[in-house]
Amino acid sequence: MPTPAKLPHDGFTRGVLIATVLALGVFVAWPLANSFFSLVPAWRNAGGDLPAAWSTLAPDVWRLGCVRGAGACGSGWHSIALGIASAATSTILGAALALLATRSALTRSRTGAALLRGVAMLPAITPPFAVGLALILLLGRNGAITQAVADWLGVTPGRWLYGPLGLWLAQCLAFTPVAFLTVLGVVQRLPAVLEEAAATLRATHWQTFRTVTWPMMRPGLANALLLCFIESLADFGNPLVLGGNFRVLSSDLYFAVVGAEQDPGRAAALAVWLLLMALGAFALQRRWLGERSYVAVNGKGGGGRAAPLDARLSWSLTALVTPWCLLTLAVYGTLLAGGFVTLWGVDFHWTLAHLADVFGVAMEDGSISLTGQAWPSALETLRMSAIAAPLTAVAAVFGGWLIARRQFAGRRWLEGALVAAFAIPGTVIGLAYAQTFNAAPLALTGTGAILVLSFLFRNMPMGLRTTVGALAQIDPSLDEASATLRAGSWTTLRRVLLPLLRPACAAALIYGFVRAATAVSAVVFLVSADHDLATTYLIGLISNGSYGPALAYAGVLVVALFTIVISLETALRVSEIKRTRSMASAIESTPEGLGNTPRIGRKSLA
């Protein structure tokens, strides 16, 4: 058995490691352990009887009735099948969108590339149940498209949307942006020099893609598959809206917590199964990647232009993503239009009554008064998201760097713990936080801090996996060269790695903001009168049958988040351009002979 690597003596590394372990212990392990303790009394009552102990772990979720012809299969099998189907489809669509956005003729036109990225990001800026509601309005039994097809073909509308097919469709819409962001960062870092070398050897565009580009994309594809699979496991909004009789673990867990069952022991058992599934997916991902090297950025100068996609491949990918893009536009057209008609499906006369109800504005004594009922929750959502997003990005970069670049005992266990934090459904984390932080020593229930913490530890693992995938493409010799110049870990991270990790940082920042603004499962148990959020307010509107105001609120939320995301991307792009120009000016002004002198250490070598 190999001897574990010793803890580095570097003060910065030690501090990051200790802070990470303490944070995971206090805000992940402690609440979950406190929640899982509800299983202990049942195990004690079982004594040494294994069947009785097994019965406490909700064994019915693994029944095989559909195979034996004796009813339905358990929700555990449903979750695995749905997760695999949704993850595979979302990753394929996300990879296709990323390649088209960076390697196709669209990149020759900034407008075309921006439009494609905008459409690809639309589903990420909407609460999942809002997408499900829009699908019902379009494809449900009385949906607009369903009725049009029924009148045209003379067929009777069915309920195909309420089941596994509808769930798969909704999750593919919702999770493709996650895969797109993950793969996009990898594709943007692929070295053009390797593709130019393949072209020099007279390889065609297709041969270059198949033998050079595609293998180098494996870390991004593996991370996208893992993230989408875990997202599918944890999703409970879509199963509640579209699941019908098709039960999955997340919906079973939700009903065990807040439904008529009220069974904390069963909820804890279901959470354990979800956690084991996520860790199993993580192990399979590591096995697929193996020990191969995927270094794409090293200390040598690179240049050239990325090879364009083969024309046949480009047309094939375009044909693949076109239905998804059209359905996405239809869904969001429904969300935007639904809030401005009297009653969707019955009375399509335009009205501003729903918008005035939720976001009304009035002038009183020369000052503007926000009279709409949704203003407090909307403003609080933006405030909490703005606080959580940068914290999420910083934690993701530090955690990813710690795992990918530092050697210490328990590194694999730490990575597994970080992934496990993402795999636990939001309902479990929300309930665990509400129970654990309801009294001393950390009485956080009812405060904004508990919302920010739940956002941080739920959303950070996605940015962490993106950072790990990016670092897998950066040659460790850059770190070694920095260390040779007597630069510490913090200096190396700040001046060598962070400039190369800007796409990953941007993805983590945007993802953290959007996911915080659209979170629903965890915050259901954590909101209070002083800290109500948009998603929980929307659930209340839908539960009361106020579909017009709910659609108006969802439409405004989509427009606001889309505007903020575009503004963030533009600001980051402008910052990168200014930094590049500043570096170019500095190099031009450097005396001859010192232009290539590294300036990494504490003292300039000049």
CA distance 37 to 559: 43
pLDDT of 321 reads 92
CA distance 45 to 506: 51
214-217, Cβ contacts within 8 angstroms, sequence gap of 24 or more:
216/186, 216/190, 216/191, 216/294, 216/296, 216/473, 217/95, 217/183, 217/186, 217/187, 217/190
Q: Please give the C-alpha separations between residue 407 and each of 200, 346, 412, in angstroms, as whole numbers.
A: 39, 63, 10
CA distance 46 to 58: 14
CA distance 300 to 478: 10
Surface-to-core class of residue 263, CB atoms within 10 Å of its CB (0-12 exposed, 13-18 middle, 19+ buried): middle
Class level of CATH domain 11-49+52-351+371-582: mainly alpha
Residues 6+ apart with CB under 8 A from 164: 78, 81, 82, 246
Q: Are strands 347-350 and 361-364 parallel, antiparallel or unpaired?
A: unpaired
Q: Please give the C-alpha separations between residue 414 and each of 18, 182, 272, 291, 417, in angstroms, as whole numbers.
A: 11, 21, 18, 19, 5
Q: Are strands 341-343 and 347-350 parallel, antiparallel or unpaired?
A: antiparallel
Write the pLDDT tens digit of every residue in 428-466: 788 788 888 988 888 898 899 999 999 998 888 778 877
Angle at 536 between CA 533 and CA 540, to 5 degrees: 130
Angle at 122 between CA 388 and CA 501, to 5 degrees: 50
By the 8 A CB rule, do 426 and 520 touch?
A: yes
| CA count, 13 A, side-chain hemisphere, 173 | 29
pLDDT of 566 reads 80
- The segments of the chain whose pLDDT lies below 50 read 1-8, 298-299, 301, 593-606
pLDDT of 84 reads 94
Q: Which tokens is 29 given?
A: 């392990």
By the 8 A CB rule, do 27 and 453 touch?
A: yes
pTM for this entry:
0.77
For residue 474, the cross-strand partners are: 297
